[in-house]
């Protein structure tokens, strides 16, 4: 009977550890993201900018991110907020870059006429850019670049989770010892 309880508790702890590790993935991603930022001028080469015209969208690759010409007539550098998912799918389906992963598009509204746009390709590592956009201009913020394997945040989530469990176990033991000592007859 005691062995069955111990096995049950061990299985419960293992399941709890794995489940909480999955929960740490979002935190690990947030912690790792700033390490992918590189100043725009540090590296030469193309900087991706999304352009939207009606139901079409494409990525312009500019070698001069600080001097991007206005978009073609009827097009905009803003992504309609209610269509971010559709635009991202359209870019993936119509991408001519040859990468299998396609584009990841994140849009944060700053005002009705200004957005912060993150556009990158998560291949073996990732590359792309983050910029602020208005309908006719962009202001580059930084390049988003990592080497192979960096986007695998699982190990970071595992370390964060192990630290959280270590603190919880040490806290539980300290509390148990203190309450156990307080209950001892004097």
- Residue 107 · residue 49 · CB < 8 Å: no
Q: What's the pLDDT tens digit per position in 36-50?
A: 777 888 877 889 999
Residue 31 above 70 pLDDT?
yes
pLDDT band for 147, please (50, 70, 90 cuts).
low
Rounded to an integer, the average pLDDT of 19-33 is 76
Bridge-based pairing state of the strands 114-121 and 37-38: unpaired
Q: What is the dihedral of CA 131, 97, 102, 32, to 10 degrees?
A: -50
Q: What proportion of the chain, given as a percentage, has pLDDT over 90?
A: 37
Name the phi and psi angles at 7, rounded to 5.
-65, -40
39 with 143: CB under 8 angstroms?
yes
Cα 121 to the chain's mean position, in Å? 12
At 77-132, the pLDDT tens digits run 999 999 999 999 999 888 766 555 688 899 999 999 999 999 988 766 678 899 99
Backbone torsions φ then ψ of 5, nearest 5 degrees: -65, -45
Query: What is the chain's percent helix, strand, coil content, to nearest 5?
Result: 45, 25, 30
Nearest to 41 by CA among 65, 68, 23: 65
The whole-angstrom separation of Cα 88 and Cα 85 is: 5
């Amino acid at each position: 009977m005691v062995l069955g309880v111990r096995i049950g508790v061990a299985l419960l702890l293992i399941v709890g550890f794995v489940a909480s590790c999955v929960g740490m993935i979002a935190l690990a991603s947030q912690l790792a993201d700033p390490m992918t930022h590189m100043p725009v001028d540090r590296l030469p080469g193309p900087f991706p900018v999304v352009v939207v015209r009606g139901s079409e969208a494409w990525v312009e690759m500019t070698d001069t991110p600080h001097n991007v010409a206005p978009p073609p007539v009827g097009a905009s550098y803003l992504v309609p907020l209610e269509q971010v998912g559709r635009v991202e799918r359209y870019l993936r389906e119509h991408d001519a870059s040859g990468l299998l992963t396609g584009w990841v598009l994140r849009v944060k509204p700053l005002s009705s006429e200004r957005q912060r746009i993150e556009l990158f390709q998560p291949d073996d590592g990732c590359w792309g850019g983050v910029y602020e956009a208005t309908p006719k201009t962009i202001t580059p913020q930084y390049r988003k670049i990592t080497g192979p394997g960096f986007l695998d945040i699982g190990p970071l989530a595992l370390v964060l989770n192990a630290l959280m469990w270590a603190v919880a176990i040490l806290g539980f033991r300290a509390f148990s010892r203190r309450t156990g000592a307080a209950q001892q007859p004097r």
